[in-house]
Amino acid sequence: MMQRIATWRRDVPYLTKKQIEKEAALLLDEYDERHGRIAGPPIPIDEIVELHLGLTLEVKDMRRLFRFGDVHGALWMEQKVVGIDRSLDPAVHPNKRGRYHFTLAHEAGHWRLHRRYYVAHPYQGKLFGDDIPVPAHVCRSSEAKKPVEWQADYFAAAVLMPRPMVRAAWESWAKTTSPMSLDQLQARAGERAIADMVASGMD
C-alpha cells in the first residue's frame, strides 16, 4: 500500500502575487547571471531546473506509482528529483509541450517557495516496496486550489511568461501599449499574417 510519509511541516504562509513574481524574477536573474541572458521566449525551463537549480528531471509513469490518474508531477526533495508524468513527455507527445513546461515550472515553484517547509519522516519509506522513495510532494489536478498548489501555479506562470517580456512581445506585435478588443486583435492578426506571407514571397 502506498503511503505518503514525507509532507509539509505546516500550511505554507500567504504570499501575494507580487511576492511570487519577485521570486520568479529573481530565479530568472540568477540564471541570466550564471548561464547567459534569456533574450526572449520561450523560457528554457528545462535548463533552469537542471543546470541552475541542480535538480534531476525524470519522466515517470505516475499512474503506476500512485494508482490515480491526475498526477502530472512530483518532487523528491531529498533526492533532488523532479518527476513528470510520461503522458506529458514532449518527445512522445509534442502537443503536450506547453503542459510539460508548465508542470516543470510548477515543481520548480515548490522547490523555490516551499522546500523550507518540508520535513522528512525519520523512517522514509519506499513506494510499494520497490526502490523508489516516497516523494515529498505529489501534484494532483484535483488539489489545484490548495494554497501550496496555487502559489506554485502562479510562480510557474510568472517564470514562463515574465511580465516585462510579455509586455515587450505585445508591443512588438501590436505596435501599441493600449488594450485591444477581440475584433481589433483578429484584424491585427490578419494584417500580420498577410505581411508575413508577403515577406516570405507568398503573394
Of residues 169 and 53, more confidence is placed in 53
Confidence grade of residue 104 (pLDDT, cut at 50, 70, 90): very high
pLDDT in tens, 110-164: 999 998 887 654 444 444 344 555 565 566 555 557 888 899 999 999 999 999 9
Model confidence pLDDT, tens digit, residues 43-70: 999 999 999 999 999 999 988 888 777 8
Spatial CA neighbour of 159 closest among 12, 47, 14: 47
Contacts of 147 (CB under 8 A, 6+ apart): 11, 12, 14
Domains within the chain, CATH numbers bracketed: 7-161 (1.10.10.2910), 163-203 (no CATH)
Q: What gap in Å lies between CA 188 and CA 200, rounded to an integer?
A: 18
**What was the pLDDT predicted at 176?**
82
Mean pLDDT of the chain, nearest integer: 82
Q: Any idea which residue has 521566449 for its cell?
A: 41
